[in-house]
Structures are given as C-alpha cells and as structure tokens.
Amino acid sequence: MRPVPEYDSRSWLLKALRETAHALEAIIWNADASALDAQPAEDEWSPRALLTHMAEMERRFHQRLERMVTMERPRIDAFDADSIEAEGGEPHDIFDAIDEFGSLRQQNVYLLWSLDDRDWQRTGEHPYLGALTVLQVAREMSEHDLAHLWQLRRTCDALQAASV
C-alpha cells in the first residue's frame, strides 16, 4: 500500500489560485456574446462586470502582497471588495479582463510560490482588521475566487437558459 501524501495547505492553496483564470475562461467560453452584458437581476453584475471586478481585485491583491513581502509590517489599504468595479467605471472587453486577471494572478502565484515558511507569516497592518499575514491574504484571494466562480457559473447558466 502506498503512503498517503502529507497534506500541504499552501500547495493546495497555490493550486487553487493558479487554476482560477482557466476556470473563469471555461465558464464564459461558450456563452452567447449578448449574454455577457446581461444582468441576471438589478443588484447583480453581468458576466463582463464580474470579470472586470476580478481583474481589478487581483490588481489590489498584487499591490497588497508586494508591500507585505518587501516591507516590514507595512500599512495595507482597506477596500470594500463588493464595491470595486473597473477603473473608470466602464467594464473592459471580457477577454481583456480575463487576460489581465490571468497575468496578475500568475505574478501573484509566482510571488507566493517563491516564499519560505517565514515569509508566509509576514504581516501587513490593516486599518480595521489589524495584522494580516500573507497566508491570510492568499486565503482571502481563494475565497473571493470561489464566491465569484460560483456567481459567474450561476449567472451564465441562468442567462443561457433564458435565451433558449
């Protein structure tokens, strides 16, 4: 009997973070172009707005991680993830948004991959939450991904069903 490999939460976290861009693209790949701007409900984002939001959030996570790994206990910005949209307020081309997200995510994954055990425990000082570790930020990124992957899947499925 082969031994069960030891569970390494950081490896699984990096794997999940690395796969998100492909998962986003797979969800919208066959979506009808007209559905990309449709809002499933008044208070929900269209697929284009959602992917633009993901790219903008990734930019902010990148800035946060860079500060945390290059500075000693830097002050990190607070932001309301639910209110962050495209810079300038206009959604980008959906494939440009995915490319931007993918490029920034790749940079973030490479950065996280390069860290040693001590670096994962480096902290930044959040104005409301106090000290956050790099590991906590990476987990926040993954949780954000999961919430929006589910939202995008649900939205695209609903819009596709409505167009039939």
Domains of the chain, by residue range, sit at 13-22+44-163
- Is 129 in contact with 123 (CB distance < 8 Å)? no
In this predicted structure, the answer to whether residue 88 has a pLDDT above a threshold of 80 is no
What is the pLDDT, as a whole number, of residue 162? Answer: 65
- Is 108 in contact with 58 (CB distance < 8 Å)? yes
In this predicted structure, the answer to whether residue 23 has a pLDDT above a threshold of 90 is yes
As a CATH number, domain 13-22+44-163 is 1.20.120.450
- Split at pLDDT 50, 70, 90, the class of 51 is very high
Tell me the pTM.
0.87
Q: What percent of the chain is predicted at pLDDT more than 70?
A: 86
